[in-house]
Amino acid sequence: MKLKSFKAVAVVAPLLAVAAGCTDPTVAPKSAVTGANIWADPNAYAQYMAKLYAGLVVTSQIGPNDPGDKNGDIKLIDEGTSEFLRLNWYLQELPTDEAVIGWNDPGVPDLNRWQWNSTNTISQAMYYRVYFETVLVNEFLRQTTPNLLDSRGVGAALKAQIKQYRAEARFLRALAYWVGLDFFGSIPLVTEADPIGGPPPKQVTRDNMYRYVVSELQAIVDSLPTPNGAITYGRATPAVANMLLAELYLNAGVYSGTDDYAHALTAVASVINSGQYTLESNYRHNFTSDNNTSTEVIFAAIQDGSHTQTWGGMTFLVHAGCGGSMVPANYGIDYCWGGYRMKQQAFRLFGPGDVRGSFFYTSGQTDSVIDIGTFTNGIAGPKFTNKTSTGGPGSQTTMIDTDFPIFRLGEAYLIYAEAAVRTGSNVAQGVTYFNYLRERAFGDASHDITAGQMTLDTILAERGRELLFEARRRTDLIRFGLFTGGTYVWAWKGNLPGGTATDAKYNLYAIPLNELSANPNLKQNPGY
């Protein structure tokens, strides 16, 4: 929940009246105030950082109910849909074996049915969202150089804080670029060193972008704030940077053509061995309205029903996971949107006694998605709730208090286990971590596995159970070589109810057509 953890970096910045929507990352962000009076205020630096963090959750400067969506960060799309987490969730979940959503909102049917192209509304908006975030980061870094701070008479204490903010800003840029290279492959790389108003940015290879993001994280990891309870909750710390490094290394073979599971093992081990996080005994606590108190969450996008209001993020995930004969009050909300539910392949991963499936709603639901548009086709999986871990209410029933866990210890254990199997090292420790999750899921050691049983297939299936709807599935299936082709098919893969083989081009989303027209330096991904 929670604004209280962001007192030092207040979540919604009044500073910038951003009229963004320009996708040229060499253009400075627009504002209703000038640079001269922005930076004269010592509070401006924290407020700007607030906007950078809030870029993961909010969609404009004036809240979720912008009349006509005139002031949204991203243009040409419904403002609520344009939110970072919601876009990311659509692109990670809808084409996979996990989720389907029956709405006809622009771009959504194409993702359900594997018919997306260079004009898909969702993928285009995600591309723009990546660069909206990086443009803001670049401007912050330009405005906080030592020379400029000296010229403004900034004192030593604030300078030290700004130095830390700069590291956090670079982390957020790295996070955005990770999303960009994961979805689109080769994209433009623009930093604070590129001149404002310069020539159209050049596209870099996916491998070069991957190496840049890794190098940025390595450079800043020791400059990030030391974990300090609620003060640093929702902010980048060394453990958060190492989790992102682990994610990058885990997928290095996809991103760069060369596997690097050994470094994934090292990076994630540093997080686990930091002693800062412990596995929650109550799995569901990671997804409740008081999940800011979870001992397992490493990094979260903070949402607060009263202060960070949005029709994306957790507002979307909680409301849209409810439909059919489900009772909204059971999830702490005022009404159901009748949106996403599980495909049968995801539902059938869960066996009897697994508490990770205890929240599934089966009454009136069929387990097979024969009709995409009918909510009762597919088992509902309301994993996220606006109630507390003890069943209490959120602060209100329309906007949601629950935070989105971007990184948590449960995934760290699974990354370790997979990297151990792939490298053939530390396997016994990997099995131990894997079984911690099994023991939490079943309440005892009856479903533990041995080293001989911990195969890649076992790990992928466990990731499907542990991380259901947490926006990892597309990336996982690609890493395992199963997303495209015909080795593994699922409901509506290739636009058939039973699934069919698909073209390898779909391992990447298309570069937006508008960007290709505007920037002659861009080349479309193969097959589009």
pLDDT in tens, 158-181: 999 999 999 999 999 999 999 999
Distance of alpha carbon 341 from alpha carbon 322, whole angstroms = 9
Cα angle: 116, vertex 58, 25; to 5 degrees = 65
pTM for the model: 0.94
**At CB < 8 A and 24+ separation, what contacts does 441-449 make?**
441/283, 441/354, 441/355, 441/356, 441/465, 441/466, 442/353, 442/354, 442/355, 443/353, 443/355, 447/353
On whether the CB atoms of residues 405 and 297 are closer than 8 A, the answer is yes
Cα angle: 82, vertex 415, 244; to 5 degrees = 45
Question: Could you give the count of Cα atoms lying within 13 Å of 375 in the half-sphere of its Cβ?
Answer: 19
Distance of alpha carbon 347 from alpha carbon 415, whole angstroms = 22
Distance of alpha carbon 74 from alpha carbon 91, whole angstroms = 17
171 backbone dihedrals φ, ψ, rounded to 5°:
-60, -45
For the chain, the straight-line distance linking the first and the last C-alpha, in angstroms and rounded, comes to 41
Distance of alpha carbon 292 from alpha carbon 297, whole angstroms = 8
Tell me which DSSP letter residue 449 carries. Answer: -
| Per-residue pLDDT at 76 | 82
| Per-residue pLDDT at 308 | 87
Position with higher pLDDT, 37 vs 489: 489
CATH topology of domain 7-223+486-528: 1.25.40
pLDDT of residue 12 exceeding 60: no
Mean pLDDT rounded to a whole number for the chain = 92
Domain regions of the chain by residue span = 7-223+486-528, 228-286+411-483, 303-402
Using the CB atoms, write b or e for 444-470: b if 16+ within 10 Å. Answer: eeeeeeeeeebeeeebbebbbbbbbbb
pLDDT-derived band at 196, boundaries 50, 70, 90: confident
pLDDT-derived band at 10, boundaries 50, 70, 90: very low
Distance of alpha carbon 375 from alpha carbon 340, whole angstroms = 7
| Per-residue pLDDT at 66 | 55
Instruction: Please determine whether the domains at 7-223+486-528 and 228-286+411-483 fall in the same fold group of CATH.
Output: yes
CATH entry 3.40.50.510 includes domain 228-286+411-483: no
pLDDT of residue 24 exceeding 80: no
| pLDDT tens digits for range 287-342 | 999 999 999 999 999 999 888 889 999 999 999 999 999 999 999 999 999 999 99
Position with higher pLDDT, 423 vs 35: 423
Position with higher pLDDT, 308 vs 98: 98
